Amino acid sequence: MRLIFLFNFTSILSLATSERVLLDQSAARRDLPYESPLPALKWRRNIVRAMKPTPRDLRPLQVRDTTTEFPEINAKFSVESTEYKISNAGGYPRLAKLADGTILSVQTLPKVNGTTSIMQVSKSTDGGKSFSLFSEVIRAQNKDLDNGFLIELPPSQSTRVEKHGAPVLIAAYRNHDLDSSGNPTYFRIAASRSEDGGRTWKEASHVFEISAEKSQGMGVWEPFMRIGNQGEVQLTYSGEIGPGNQETFRALSRDGGKSWTEPVNLRLHSKDEPMRDGMQSIISVKDSENGRVALVMALEVKIGAVVHLDYTISYDDGASWQNRSGIYDPEGDDKSAGAPQVANIGDGIVVVFMTDEDTEHVDWPKKAATKALFSDGLKNGVLAWTKNPLLVDESPSWWPGVVEIGDNEAMAVYGHDNSPRGRRIKKQ
């Protein structure tokens, strides 16, 4: 069963006043009831909980515009009370900061007028304090279009001179075909390209595609992109490989998103261990103990009916991963934390995510709130995380993203009341 989200509006503007809950369909398959072939893999969740430093105060930190000290990592952070509206409508926002300081946000308006989904880009030229509608990446009729992600190409792949020096961008997204009942018949991760700084877009390539019949209903979701050490685009996405089992795959482009290598399963967990990894997000850091450059990947892990947060480390630019460990697992056998996105903040790390840990009656992910945790950086392949999350946005708040926007400052974005919004997070 997939979650179906109905929107009773006749225009895009009417979304802003709609009382319907806007949920991203990317989570639909993750939230199916699942009976594990192992006894709910409780042993795996107990292992994750054993990784936690010490029992924490279960009260969430609600303060805003107030500096909060985290003695476990000897750092102070704050979340602004000011909320910035990114667009009048849409969900699953993701930010990209360009080399010239411009901030772009991509978000999706699903099922506009009942059938058409639209992926839009908003633009900020004042550091994220205000956004205006800028362009449209793609619109699709009777499609499952979502999970947009933006990246600016480096000069080696961008051919900036084609459009008078304007940034060249790639937008990656899922774009699945549906039958008349809304069931997927064809899965694809696709990419569009802009050669004028995001003002206009053209479909460029399919990173991966497969029919639902051939895949036996196993789908692909949630593309993420980064630039590798050789200037190539590294795109990772979530791919189902069996009931309750999902892995992270990686494909590379060396021609600016026009073509891609065959996706490779990164095998972040044992093939015999049914774990649903997803929503991966990656940043580059320097290990302060051994001096090596490393990548940190944050991801959600669904085991049975609940979700928690893990991280894993790569010292070879993302080709292989090691030192997998836990970030956060809410107390309570029925509580979840998922959809993590990670960014650098000063000499540390911030991960934003959504959790239903404060709800009395569990209905994941409908009652989730957006929160943030912090780390003081990588030390010999290990990250220490704060124990108590800072509240970024109250429930209902979904599918957050985050990007570094300045020295000691990041911007978290999320969907709330049918529109993407954001708040600044600062390290003091």
User: Among 57-66, 203-212, 386-395, 411-420, which stretch is predicted with the lowest mean pLDDT?
Assistant: 57-66
Is 60 a residue whose pLDDT tops 70? no
In a domain, 1, yes or no: no
Q: Mean pLDDT over residues 11-35, rounded?
A: 37
In a domain, 6, yes or no: no
Q: Which residues, listed in sequence order, are joined to residue 372 by a DSSP beta bridge? A: 352, 390
- How confident is the model at residue 339, as a pLDDT? 98
* Domain count across the chain: 1
CATH number at residue 54: 2.120.10.10
- How confident is the model at residue 204, as a pLDDT? 97
In a domain, 3, yes or no: no
- How confident is the model at residue 421, as a pLDDT? 97
Percent of the chain's residues with pLDDT above 90: 75
Burial of 354: CB neighbours in 10 Å, binned 0-12, 13-18, 19+: buried
DSSP 344-398: EETTEEEEEEEE-TT-SS--TTTT-EEEEEEEEEEETTEEEE-SSPEEEEPSS-E
Mean pLDDT (the chain, rounded): 86
In a domain, 66, yes or no: yes
> What is this structure's pTM?
0.87
User: Among 2-6, 66-70, 223-227, 240-244, which stretch is predicted with the lowest mean pLDDT?
Assistant: 2-6
Is 149 a residue whose pLDDT tops 60? yes
In a domain, 8, yes or no: no
Number of separate helices (H) and strands (E) present in the chain:
3, 27
Q: In terms of residue numbers, what domain contains 105?
A: 13-427
Is 24 a residue whose pLDDT tops 90? no
In a domain, 2, yes or no: no
- How confident is the model at residue 425, as a pLDDT? 97
Is 17 a residue whose pLDDT tops 50? no
Q: What's the 3-state SS for 232-287?
A: CEEEEEEEEEECCEEEEEEEEECCCCCCCCCCEECCCCCCCCCCEEEEEEEEEEEC
